[in-house]
């Protein structure tokens, strides 16, 4: 198994839900973590929750490449290197395609898909140096289409294809790429308020453990596309 203690990770959308669950698991395993989000107050709250030591709070909107460039510069200035990237930032807007607004369509494509590219573009040179690991958080909506999901499906199908193609492009640099495709997760996604009724769902800490397990795998092993769903529904 690989030792990940002392490595440095960058997590977009790291203030709550899946991103925060992954950040917590990495911190508990000795990884130095930078988390980013659009609202710096939310990022600072997450930093306090994780513990201030070896956790960096960064304001960044993945829709803007310059934000991600600045985030990586801050991270490397603080920690000196970058080993792990978790491209997690995302949002969902659901409506029949004939009723979907241009604003909602563009918000999803710009954040969920172009944002993943921006994060990759801003981090890839540092990952070449460290022979690091890039993980995108997609969704089962990246392989299963559903009514009212045209925009979200388009963005997540795109994330899956993007990450798999990037995996082929970057493996010659000894960079690993994986896309994780969760089903129902207890989170604040789409303004949901988590409650005890969410107990049947995947929990953020489950995905945190999955990421830790991936990072600890031997260099010659790469689960490049992972579907994960609740064992049962409700």
pLDDT one-digit tens code per residue, 16-35: 999 999 999 999 999 999 99
Instruction: Compute the CA torsion angle 37, 42, 47, 48 (nearest 10 deg).
Output: 180
Q: Which of 108, 25, 13, 18 is nearest to 68 (CA)?
A: 13
Measured distance CA(62)–CA(117) in Å, rounded: 9
Catalytic site positions: 152
Structural domains present in the chain: 8-228 (3.40.50.720)
* C-beta atoms surrounding 110 within 10 Å: 17
Residues linked to residue 10 through DSSP beta bridges, in sequence order? 34, 85
Please, are residues 170 and 126 in contact by the beta-carbon 8 Å criterion?
no
What pTM value is reported for the model?
0.95
Strand extents, DSSP E, 31-154: 32-37, 55-59, 84-87, 133-137
pLDDT per residue as tens digits for the range 103-148: 999 999 999 999 999 999 999 999 999 999 999 999 999 999 999 9
pLDDT per residue as tens digits for the range 177-228: 999 999 988 876 666 677 777 788 899 999 999 999 999 999 999 999 999 9
């Amino acid at each position: 198994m690989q030792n990940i203690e002392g490595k440095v990770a960058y997590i977009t959308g790291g203030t709550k839900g899946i991103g925060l669950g992954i950040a917590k698991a990495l911190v508990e395993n000795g990884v130095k973590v930078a988390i980013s989000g659009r609202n710096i107050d939310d990022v600072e709250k997450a930093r306090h929750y994780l513990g201030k030591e070896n956790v960096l709070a960064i304001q960044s909107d993945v829709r803007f490449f310059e934000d991600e460039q600045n985030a990586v510069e801050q991270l490397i200035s603080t920690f000196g290197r970058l080993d792990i990237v978790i491209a997690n930032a995302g949002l969902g807007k659901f409506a029949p395609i004939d009723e979907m607004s241009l604003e909602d369509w563009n918000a999803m494509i710009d954040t969920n898909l172009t944002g993943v590219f921006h994060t990759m573009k801003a981090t890839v040179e540092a990952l070449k140096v460290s022979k690091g690991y890039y993980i995108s958080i997609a969704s089962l909506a990246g392989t299963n289409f559903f009514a009212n999901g045209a925009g979200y499906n388009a963005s997540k199908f795109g994330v899956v294809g993007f990450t798999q193609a990037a995996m082929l492009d970057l493996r010659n640099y000894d960079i690993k790429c994986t896309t994780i495709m969760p089903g129902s997760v207890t989170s604040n996604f789409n303004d949901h308020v988590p409650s005890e009724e969410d107990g049947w769902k995947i929990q953020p800490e489950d995905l945190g453990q999955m990421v830790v397990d991936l990072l600890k795998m031997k260099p010659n092993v790469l689960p490049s596309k992972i579907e994960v769903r609740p064992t049962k529904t409700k």
